[in-house]
Amino acid sequence: MLNDIFMSLLTMFVLEPMQAKLGAARAPVAVIEQVAACGQAGIPALVQRAGGDLWWGATTVISVAVGLSTPQSVLATAHPSCPAAIRAAAPYIAATG
């Protein structure tokens, strides 16, 4: 049950904002798909980490929610495929402010 809560929170505060910014910036489909693949691989890894370290999970979600951390910085560490996806998405995310 706790993993489901972290899955929802991480998806809502990390993955969805990035996808919304990419859509608003009219990023190429390849970049959007790369970020989506990163999210599919990375969010479960983040959930597993949050389940093992509740303090990390709570502070990470809160930090992103209040703007102390960016969704990109959290997702970039989630899976080996994520840094390349975040680099490809960075210009489009920056363009949306």
Please count the CA atoms within 13 angstroms of the CA of 35 that sit on its side-chain side.
28
Q: Is the pLDDT of residue 9 over 90?
A: no
- Predicted pLDDT of residue 82: 94
Contact between 77 and 43 (Cβ < 8 Å): no
Average pLDDT, the chain: 91
Q: Is the pLDDT of residue 10 over 90?
A: no
Where exactly are the structural domains of the chain?
A: 2-95
How confident is the model over 19-45, as a mean pLDDT?
92
How confident is the model over 35-42, as a mean pLDDT?
92
In terms of Cα–Cα distance, which of 69, 61, 28 is closest to 43? 61
- Predicted pLDDT of residue 85: 94
